[in-house]
Structure 1
Amino acid sequence: MLQIDRWKRILIIGICLLGLAYAMPNLFYKRVEAHNDAVAAIEKTGVTTPELVEARDGWPGWLPNGLVNLGLDLRGGAHLLGEVQVDQVYKARMDSLWPELRRALADERATIGAVRRVASPEGTLKIEIGTPEQLARAVEIVRGFSEPVTTLTGAGQTSLAIDAQGKALTISLSDAEKSLTDDRTIQQSLEIIRRRVDEVGTREPTIMRQGEDRILIQVPGIGSAAELKALIGTTAKLTFNAVIGTGSDPDARVGIGEIVLPASDREGVFYTIDETPVVTGEELTDAMPSTDQNGMPSVDFRFNPTGARKFGAYTSANVGQPFAIVLDNQVISAPVIRQAITTGSGQISGSMDYEEATRLAVLLRAGALPAELTFLEERTVGPELGQDSIDAGQIAATVGFVAVIVLMVLSYGLLGVFAAVALAVNMGMIFGVLSMIGATLTLPGIAGIVLTIGMAVDANVLVFERIREELRTARGPARAIELGYEKAMSAIIDANITTLIIAAILFVLGSGPVKGFAVTLTIGIVTSVFTALYVTRLMTITWFERARPRQIEV
């Protein structure tokens, strides 16, 4: 019998209204965007200004405020492809191993003799002992610092590879440990870059791994690739090192474990420092822009308990001695320790302006990149180009929408009008779902929406053609409409399930733009089936109940 229960009608109308309500904020994009930014700023800082209040009140708080985020190709922004120099991590691991290993070997001095580090390729640690006959004992001590590799591919291997010849030990990371270190370094770099980008309040950045040691970074809404590089292109590696000497020769001869670094604010001045830091930036818990005693821009920082304890112990034992504050291989300050610093806090000051102090605080808060990031590709997409893409997408969608409506109305008359109304509801629901899930719309995503416009009426065409056939044999138009929906159901489900499978494959195997296309295509398939089978049917039955036509033309 041709009817729909009242509760089903209420549910269908309710779903449509809910989808359109969530799509509505996109009609007032800039106003809602300003409202969301103001609310986030007030919640983060707790400070309200007249401008923030005005922006917050520009959109009612009880209405949905989710927006479809615009991707890089629509909004404009910056694109970077960086390569992580993982080899630097191997060197850092060996340098940090040497102090502990030296103490352990020194405890066996009576057996193995004097111990010293000699020059070796980066990423390796070469040690000579005074008693070659006890080389096996030295190897045994070093093996005590090696740990089993816990990955499946590295089963049975240890973290250190040890080569013993004559009176020398050459230590490096094993292949399994290098592979594990590479993965850990890339993941850490991804997280730190994401935190740095999030600190400046950008929307929906794309930060993902590409290949073995590369990272793709796309940030919509940022001014240029140079601005993005300034934010994430430095390691922001902060260390506190012991000062061994000062001079003017950058090529001064130094001992093993010592390096020469330039002063950042004094041209021609170079410091010889101990390469092993006393405390590192990884032990910082907070960093905030501030001013020093002279009113100049500075950065206040605070250590965690471990860092505070180490820093306090070092300053207590070295009162009257200078120590170097090193940032990205430059000595930004080398103050003399006047008294023990046990509070766990300090200040970085020097030749910086307020913008540089704020940026340095952001970098230190987010943490140091574990290795240098070399940029292989950079591209800036201007907002004008993004707007051109939006305009082109709107034109394509509008032309497709009008063409489909004209075709449906000319082909199926009043039922074609119902299909056109359902298509409009379908488009609104697509944007409503995209807004609810916080999806990012790209140019391929717009292509998916345009494709959906053409596919959305397929189900209606199948139903209407089936109704047309049933009118020749069924007893009355009501029975023809009912049979039309019943018999077309299997074909509609089969066609859309196969398309969903293809969309799922695109999403799983694709990346970036392909995934955006797959997301909008999937949402469009679901909403188009809903509008074709329920919305169009509801309008048809409602019209039929009121008009009670003796015959219909399809």
Structure 2
Amino acid sequence: MNRYPLWKYLLIGAILLIGVIYAIPNFFPAVPAVQISSKLDETIDATTLQRFEQALQAKGLTPTASSTKGSQATFRFENTDQQLQALEVVKEIAGTQYSSALNLVSSTPAWLRALNANPMYLGLDLRGGVHFLMEVDMKAALDKNLTRYEDEFRDVLRNKKIQYQGVAREGDVITVKFEDAALRDAGLKTLRTEYPTQLLLEPVADTTNLKATMTPLELQTIKKNALQQNITTLRKRVNELGVAEPVIQQQGAERIVVQLAGIQDPNQARDILGATATLEFKLVDEDNDALQAQQTKRVPLNSQLYYERNGNPRLLKRQVMLTGEYIVDANAGFDESNRPAVHITLDSKGANRFAKVTGENVKRLMSVVFIETKVERKEVNGKVELKSNTTQEVINVATIQSQLGKNFQITGLASTKEATNLALLLRAGALAAPLYIVEERTIGPSMGAENIAKGLNSNIWGFIAVVIFMIIYYRVFGVISSIALAVNGFLLFAILSMLQATLTLPGLAAIALTLGMAIDANVLINERIREELRNGAPPQMAINTGYERAWGTIIDSNLTTLIAGIALFLLGAGPVRGFAVVLCLGILTSIFSAVVVSRAMVNLVYGSKPRLTHVSI
């Protein structure tokens, strides 16, 4: 009656063994470390590693361990004080060739890592990291759309074969000049058809011109879309950085909160998040001398002066053949000469346009211009000033050998790291408008360690209190229930580790709540068994009936909590979702441990005694 077949015992044993293996890494603490990275993406060899180690030892700072992996090296230390002192020493030696950053490195043994048994990710409140409050430059977003309308006006009027004398923008007003009133009226009718709700179009009094301004609805839409597109782009960029469970959410009408837990290089994160990078493909002006234009400062009307990375001037046509907005995928790699390159994939519209312009200009020189904009926020005399820094440089010039289409590559990059960063920015998409950092906070690992200690202590003391009560009140069955409760904790940690979930302070609270709720199932089972014994049932029958009759009540009570947890996950955000994930998983593991595991232990203790007369409950 109270026996499992051998296969069921073996299955439960296998599950428990896997649970222990994948839960153990969470009990190995992350140790403070200093990480250096080669800015030129060069491999750090043993000689370089030894040079840094000797410099640290000269200052009385001996790393507990050091290792290299490609272009990165890591030095581990016993405590955060040594880590901070070592960072200053490393910065002095690194110079401009290497970047350095604080880091936390897992101390999980190699044999566990070989089994892909890794600890859970820790959230910003437990591991430390960086917190950014970023603001969208809405003026730049509006300017970008006005410039787009200005270019589109030319295309629309040209396609409708309506002659115009010029399109110019001054402030928030776009003015279109016509030769006479008839052409102006035709242009007005055409543009109103094309932009019925976006623009307010009207003739300028006493002239043959018309002016266009954006409607209030369009202004509101542009601002809303700029904010949402920037949030989407930031999520893609953060995912490319490999940050687990980042927090990226809107705050107010123009601001975005970004929280990156355990980020290794805050400087890289700052550069990647705030950069507005794109590419422009332009024809080279082969009819004029760029060096002469630089010296005389006289640039031809339809050309523009740019510079290559080595400082050489280049005259390029003003007309843009293609922009980065048509790029749907970009991957870093190498060209046929094993030089760093970025492989580009265009969407259908961009591919058609690029095929047309390159087909018309075979054997001509084409350049790739890299444009990057960063906005800095500074306070001068109590006033906030925004300073926009735009870098434009020619990274590649090549002859168009044949018509280009959907896939091609660009070269001329300094290192594989630069190719990787450029591919990341292009793949994630351009920001709708520049972002500048309003507030930046760095949360150190020491605060996270304190939070972890408090959270674990609360769980441990809660577990001990429950165990003492169960053993005193239910005796042997209380011991079995306590072991099942410990199994529940191990299984929960194992599942969270296998899912590589992120644990936060609310998650620790959910674990404590789960442990408290898990014992409830065992209490129901034990009370059912007591009730059957009081009614005169034999011990074996009482055990069997107690587990069977308690099962329905356990399912009902846990199902309602599971529904509430799912609702929290679907409707909540950030810490609330983290709490919900741990709660829902804890309910599933608690049912398994309280019913299946505890029943297996009861069967092992009492199932082999057919003439059982007494149970310790």
* Offset of residue 313 of structure 1: 6.4
Contact 2:492 2:586 in 1 (8 A): yes
* Count of residue pairs brought into register by the alignment: 507
1:169 matched residue in structure 2: 210
Cα 1:140–1:186 shift into 2, 3 Å: same
Task: Decide which moves more: 437-446 or 354-363.
Answer: 354-363
Amino acid of the structure 2 residue aligned with 1:140: K
Contact 2:28 2:108 in 1 (8 A): no
Q: Deviations over 1:525-547 (max 9, x none)?
A: 22212322232233223322234
Counterparts of 1:185-196 in structure 2, within 5 Å, are 185-186=226-227, 188-196=229-237
1:129 matched residue in structure 2: 178
Contact 1:195 1:366 in 2 (8 A): yes
Contact 1:263 1:330 in 2 (8 A): no
Task: Decide which moves more: 418-427 or 465-474.
Answer: 465-474
Q: Greater share of strand residues, 1 or 2?
A: 2
Counterparts of 1:130-279 in structure 2, within 5 Å, are 130-146=179-195, 158=196, 160-166=198-204, 167-171=208-212, 185-186=226-227, 188-209=229-250, 214-223=255-264, 225-240=266-281, 274=318, 277-279=320-322
2:132 is the alignment partner of 1:80: yes
Counterparts of 1:93-132 in structure 2, within 5 Å, are 93-105=145-157, 114-122=164-172, 125-132=174-181
1:28 matched residue in structure 2: 25
* Offset of residue 402 of structure 1: 1.8
2:453 is the alignment partner of 1:454: no
Separation (CA, whole Å) in 2 of partners of 1:359 and 1:525: 42
TM-score, length-scaled by structure 1: 0.74
Separation (CA, whole Å) in 2 of partners of 1:346 and 1:545: 73
Contact 2:26 2:118 in 1 (8 A): no
Separation (CA, whole Å) in 2 of partners of 1:550 and 1:332: 89
Separation (CA, whole Å) in 1 of partners of 2:130 and 2:434: 20
1:552 matched residue in structure 2: 615
Separation (CA, whole Å) in 2 of partners of 1:362 and 1:493: 47
* Offset of residue 353 of structure 1: 8.2
Contact 2:23 2:491 in 1 (8 A): no
Amino acid of the structure 2 residue aligned with 1:520: V
Separation (CA, whole Å) in 1 of partners of 2:448 and 2:201: 57
RMSD: 4.8
Separation (CA, whole Å) in 2 of partners of 1:374 and 1:270: 31
Cα 1:30–1:277 shift into 2, 3 Å: farther
**Secondary structure in 1 aligned to 2:600?**
helix
**Secondary structure in 2 aligned to 1:82?**
strand
**Secondary structure in 1 aligned to 2:433?**
coil
**Secondary structure in 1 aligned to 2:276?**
coil
Separation (CA, whole Å) in 2 of partners of 1:481 and 1:28: 37
Separation (CA, whole Å) in 2 of partners of 1:476 and 1:325: 83
Where structure 2 has 5 or more consecutive residues not aligned to the other structure, the ranges are 31-45, 47-66, 71-106, 374-389
Separation (CA, whole Å) in 2 of partners of 1:172 and 1:377: 34
Separation (CA, whole Å) in 1 of partners of 2:200 and 2:190: 11
TM-score, length-scaled by structure 2: 0.67
2:325 matched residue in structure 1: 282
* Offset of residue 77 of structure 1: 1.9
2:600 is the alignment partner of 1:541: no
Counterparts of 1:315-326 in structure 2, within 5 Å, are 326=371
Contact 2:471 2:479 in 1 (8 A): yes
Separation (CA, whole Å) in 1 of partners of 2:333 and 2:353: 20
* Offset of residue 441 of structure 1: 1.4
Q: Deviations over 1:246-270 (max 9, x none)?
A: 789x9x9x99xx9999979899x99
* Offset of residue 65 of structure 1: 3.7
Cα 1:436–1:120 shift into 2, 3 Å: same
Cα 1:129–1:243 shift into 2, 3 Å: farther
**Secondary structure in 2 aligned to 1:236?**
strand
Cα 1:52–1:28 shift into 2, 3 Å: farther
Amino acid of the structure 1 residue aligned with 2:560: T
Where structure 1 has 5 or more consecutive residues not aligned to the other structure, the ranges are 34-48, 147-157
1:442 matched residue in structure 2: 504
Contact 2:126 2:449 in 1 (8 A): yes
Q: Deviations over 1:491-542 (max 9, x none)?
A: 4344323322332332233211111111111211222123222322332233
Cα 1:308–1:468 shift into 2, 3 Å: same
Separation (CA, whole Å) in 2 of partners of 1:322 and 1:469: 85
Query: Residue 579 of structure 2 is aligned with which of 517, 530, 549?
Result: 517
Cα 1:56–1:191 shift into 2, 3 Å: farther
